[in-house]
């Protein structure tokens, strides 16, 4: 009886299109928009893009299909899903929830900063343009005084918005919000691409980005493309298992996987086509990725561009949507775990996890980049060179990027390929012949033999050679 009630209470998507947009919303995030362009640049432009496409087709798509199959077959939160399919394997789900939690700690903060920049471009763009580095330092607490806005106010608003979307449930909240945010995001991307590509000097950047130079092909570029692909597609962290669990058996997983991967890749390439040419057209700055590049170097691009204030505003709004749709999916993995496994009412699960992440997340900003209000905490990390001290903010990122996510991805891929088994997965995908899956043999081969060693390389490369995943 109790079990039945639980099943009735579980959410589900209202349409396959809604599911596709939500999963694409999860995938398209900070990693896609602010890391991909930088990595494409350092990875040699065209050759990186080509490798990225290749690993996305051979591995990303393959693992995503496996995760959706697990979720849909079990119709449960990620911990219960792994346990339901094979006794003793709940830990894969736990690893996923744990990674989601850690990623959320910095997603909440950075999402807050993005929101702060949306407001800044509306309210005081001249201040941002006057001294981009000082503005960013002030926000993130490397200036004087306590960073009220960067550590408290904006991350809080960001988390409250995430909680608000979640409280509408799967169909009324997550699906509805993504159906609005994703088309807007795409529209803004196209408008921005048009704006930056018309800058003088931009063609050179575009040429660099899409001309393939095979002499730049090497193992570290390949690993970097691999890591980026897994992170960008939100794989390994049980988020796709959770989203898959709200699907009914009438949906075609294969078609969805193609659409989601296609959308994420489109956004990644468009972002690169916006950022790289813009950097080529702005001689004062050099290419980079992540926080300070996105907030400071890009300000120089926007300040030198006709209509730059509007372009900047559009860019941060789109980044904000991308971050919010991803954080919603990360939180859904945590919330569905808390409510279904621990029996918390959904509302309480949302509130408590929001509060926890907000409080812990604050420590991220307070230890970011040698913040003046820095917490006197010391952490350590290691690579082949030995053990070295890091700040808490660095520790959180390293733990997620180098350990938790690749480990969770490896576990879930071994689970699909070897524990649950590719036969069961194919049966789940085919639904008694309702859907044809002509490349099932190839898929099984890839997930059993190619994906595990590839992910193991990311794990080892990150742990010992300091290769960054996201
Ligand atoms: N894909 C997201 C991005 O590109 C980041 C991410 C990694 C993520 N794993 C996730 C988001 C799991 C949601 C769920 O930024």
Tell me which residue has its CA closest to atom 9 in ligand 1: 234
Site to substitute for ligand 1 among 231, 289, 404, most atoms within 8 A of C-beta = 231
Please, what sign has the CA dihedral across residues 264, 224, 410, 404? negative
Give dist(CA 455, CA 60) in Å, integer.
11
The pTM of the full predicted model, rounded to 2 decimals, is 0.93
CA angle 248, 68, 461 (to 5 degrees): 170
Instruction: Grade residue 462 by pLDDT with cuts at 50, 70 and 90.
Output: confident
Please, what sign has the CA dihedral across residues 174, 180, 183, 185? negative
Give dist(CA 67, CA 411) in Å, integer.
11
In this structure, what are the phi and psi dihedrals at residue 200, rounded to the nearest 5 degrees? -65, 135
Contacts of 359 (CB under 8 A, 6+ apart): none
100 membership: H or E segment, kind and range? helix 90-123
Contacts of 392 (CB under 8 A, 6+ apart): 363, 364, 366, 367, 375, 377, 379
**Under DSSP, is residue 460 helix (H, G, I), strand (E, B) or coil?**
helix
| pLDDT digit string, tens, across residues 426-460 | 999 999 999 999 999 999 999 999 999 999 999 99
**Under DSSP, is residue 380 helix (H, G, I), strand (E, B) or coil?**
strand
Residue length of the chain: 470
Residue 405 has pLDDT above 80, yes or no: yes
Instruction: Grade residue 6 by pLDDT with cuts at 50, 70 and 90.
Output: very low
| pLDDT digit string, tens, across residues 77-110 | 999 999 999 999 999 999 999 999 999 999 999 9
Contacts of 467 (CB under 8 A, 6+ apart): 220, 223, 224, 227, 458, 461
| pLDDT digit string, tens, across residues 130-185 | 999 999 999 988 877 788 898 899 999 999 999 999 999 999 999 999 999 999 99
Tell me which residue has its CA closest to atom 8 in ligand 1: 234
Give the binding-site residues of ligand 1, using a 6 Å CB cut-off: 26-27, 29-32, 103, 231-232, 234, 237, 239, 326, 329-330
**386-390/379-383 β-pairing:** antiparallel
Site to substitute for ligand 1 among 237, 322, 402, most atoms within 8 A of C-beta = 237
Which residue, 443, 346, 364, 412, is CA-closest to 111? 364
| pLDDT digit string, tens, across residues 410-422 | 999 999 999 999 9
CA angle 389, 391, 392 (to 5 degrees): 125
Give dist(CA 439, CA 29) in Å, integer.
30
Site to substitute for ligand 1 among 330, 332, 403, most atoms within 8 A of C-beta = 330
């Amino acid at each position: 009886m109790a079990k039945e009630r639980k099943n009735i209470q579980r959410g589900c998507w209202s349409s396959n299109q809604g599911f596709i947009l939500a999963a694409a919303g999860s995938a398209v995030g900070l990693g896609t928009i602010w890391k991909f362009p930088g990595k494409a640049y350092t990875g040699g432009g065209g050759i990186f893009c080509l490798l990225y496409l290749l690993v996305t087709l051979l591995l990303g798509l393959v693992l995503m299909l496996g995760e959706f199959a697990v979720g849909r077959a079990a119709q449960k939160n990620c911990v219960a899903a792994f346990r339901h399919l094979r006794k003793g394997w709940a830990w894969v789900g736990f690893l996923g929830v744990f990674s989601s939690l850690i990623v959320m700690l910095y997603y909440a903060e950075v999402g807050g900063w993005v929101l702060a920049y949306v407001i800044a471009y509306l309210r005081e763009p001249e201040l941002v343009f006057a001294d981009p580095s000082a503005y960013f330092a002030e926000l993130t607490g490397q200036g004087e005084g306590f960073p009220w806005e960067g550590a408290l106010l904006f991350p809080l608003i960001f988390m409250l918005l995430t909680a608000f979307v979640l409280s509408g449930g799967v169909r009324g909240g997550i699906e509805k919000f993504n159906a609005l945010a994703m088309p807007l995001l795409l529209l803004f991307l196209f408008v921005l691409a048009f704006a930056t590509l018309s800058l003088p000097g931009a063609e050179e950047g575009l040429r660099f980005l899409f001309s393939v130079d095979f002499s730049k092909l090497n193992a570290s570029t390949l690993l970097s493309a691999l890591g980026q692909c897994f992170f960008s597609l939100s794989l390994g962290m049980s988020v796709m298992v959770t989203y898959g669990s709200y699907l009914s058996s009438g949906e075609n997983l294969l078609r969805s996987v193609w659409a989601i991967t296609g959308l994420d890749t489109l956004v990644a390439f468009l972002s690169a086509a916006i950022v790289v040419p813009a950097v080529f057209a702005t001689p004062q700055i050099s290419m980079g990725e992540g926080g300070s590049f996105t907030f400071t170097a890009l300000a120089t691009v926007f300040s030198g561009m006709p209509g730059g204030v509007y372009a900047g505003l559009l860019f941060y709004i789109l980044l904000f949507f991308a971050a919010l749709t991803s954080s919603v999916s990360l939180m859904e993995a945590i919330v569905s775990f808390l409510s279904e496994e621990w029996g918390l009412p959904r509302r309480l699960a949302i509130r408590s996890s929001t509060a926890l992440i907000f409080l812990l997340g604050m420590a991220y900003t307070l230890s970011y980049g040698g913040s003046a209000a820095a917490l006197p905490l010391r952490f350590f990390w290691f690579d082949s060179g030995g053990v070295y001290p890091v700040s808490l903010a660095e520790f959180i990122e390293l733990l997620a990027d180098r350990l938790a996510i690749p480990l969770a991805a490896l576990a879930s891929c071994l689970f699909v390929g070897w524990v649950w088994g590719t036969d069961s997965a194919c049966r789940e995908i085919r639904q008694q012949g309702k859907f044809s899956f002509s490349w099932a043999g190839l898929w099984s081969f890839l997930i059993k033999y190619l994906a595990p060693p590839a992910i193991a390389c990311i794990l080892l490369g990150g742990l010992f050679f300091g290769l960054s995943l996201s």
